[in-house]
Amino acid sequence: MDWQTLASRLFPDGHDIVENGNFLSGSGRAGAGPDAQTVAVIGTTEHAPIGIEIALAQAQAVLRTVREHPGRPILILVDTQGQRLRHRDEMLGINSYMAHLGKCIDFARRQGHKVLGLVYDQALSGGFITSGLIADACFALPQATIRVMGLPAMARITKVPEERLTELARENPVFAPGAGNYLRMGGLQALWEYELAAALVEALENVDAVDRRMLLGQERGGRHMAQAVAQAVRTGGDVRPA
């Protein structure tokens, strides 16, 4: 789905989102009647690689929202092929730019802004960690692609035959790309299938600032160990896998 179609379906009452070099920013009206509220929107499109400029532009938009519109919810629209793979970005410290974006989003959360992520096309590794995955909760359209890497590349690195990985991927969501796998593992809160505007309103009502992804992964059977291990470390108890 292109971002314009997405935006008009999320915000049937209107929005002023603009694109500037694959960077999306603006706002939209969520909901209707007396409960309608303005949502700040940042994001990327065209599978943009996240380089230092686009990370900084997103951070700037988050900080501006915190300064000028205290409490306004923030929606992050995710479509990225991952971090930009260039020597220049590394030389200039792209990890610092990504961390800065993550810290700005985290700061907004603690100032009372609800922060939602929505993967509407593609989300990959480094571009996802400081966007959808740092939100209060992340959602995806069912057809979204989410991955660290494809199975062929994973087969090369792990030296496990691709056929074997494909077979394992049927049972274990840890290997294979796909929104459904991230849902099972708790990385996604839910898939938004039909009424996007209604799904957005519902999410704005229900999300909070507590990170429950490990628990979700355990409940959904996609990550058996994480919650039990974190809890055992936290309380000094034993690990009781789900």
Partner 1 sequence: MSSYLELSARQRIPHIFDASSFEEFLAPGARVVSPHLAQLDAPVSFDDGVVVGRGLLDGQVVFGAAQEGGFMGGAVGEVHGAKLVGMLRRAVDEGAYAVLLLLESGGVRLHEANAGLIAVSEVMRAILDVRAAGIPVIVAVGGANGCFGGMGIAARCANTVIMSEEGRLAMSGPEVIETANGVEEFDSKDRALVWRTTGGKHRYLLGDCQVLVADDTDAFRAAAIAAMADAHGGAALTLDGLQAEQTMLKRRIRDFGDADDPLEVWRRLGVPEPGAVPMLEADAFLAMAAQHRAGPGTGEN
Q: What residues from 206 to 235 belong to the interface with partner 1 (CB under 8 A)?
A: 211, 213-214, 217, 223-235
DSSP per position, 74-99: EEEEE-EEEE---HHHHHTTHHHHHH
Q: CA of 198: how far to CAs of 11, 12, 202, in Å? A: 10, 10, 6
Q: What are the angstrom distances between the C-alpha of 154 and each of 174, 188, 234? A: 12, 22, 33
* Contact status: 2 vs partner 1 (CB under 8 A): no
- Applying the rule CB under 8 A, the residues between 66 and 85 that interact with partner 1 are 66-67, 83, 85
Tell me how far, at minimum, the Cβ of 82 lies from partner 1, in Å: 9
Give the number of residues in contact with partner 1, rule: CB under 8 A: 78
Which residues in 40-69 contact partner 1 (CB under 8 A)?
Answer: 52-53, 56, 59-60, 63, 66-67
**Which of 18, 32, 36, 174 is in the footprint of partner 1 by CB under 8 A?**
174
Residue type, 86: R
Q: In the range 91-130, which residues lie near partner 1 by CB under 8 A?
A: 91-100, 102-104, 106-107, 110, 125-126, 128-130
- Of 149, 134, 137, 107, residue with least CA distance to 216: 137
Q: DSSP E strands: which ranges in the chain? A: 18-20, 23-30, 37-44, 48-50, 74-78, 80-83, 115-119, 122-124, 137-140, 145-147, 190-191
Q: Provide the minimum distance between the beta carbon of 28 and partner 1 in the complex, in angstroms, as a whole number.
A: 24
- In terms of CB distance, is 31 or 51 closer to partner 1? 51
143-172 positions binding partner 1, by CB under 8 A? 146-149, 154, 157-158, 160, 168, 172
**Residue that the structure tokens 């799904």 belong to:** 199
Cβ at position 114, least distance to partner 1 in Å = 15
Closest CB to partner 1 among residues 31, 173: 173
Q: Is the dihedral of CA 183, 65, 114, 15 positive or negative?
A: negative
The tokens describing 58, both together, are 């997103």
Residue 180 binds to partner 1 (criterion: CB under 8 A): no
Kindly tell me which of 14 and 93 has the beta carbon lying closer to partner 1.
93
* Closer CB to partner 1, 12 or 149, in the complex: 149
Rounded Cα distance between 76 and 191, Å, is 15
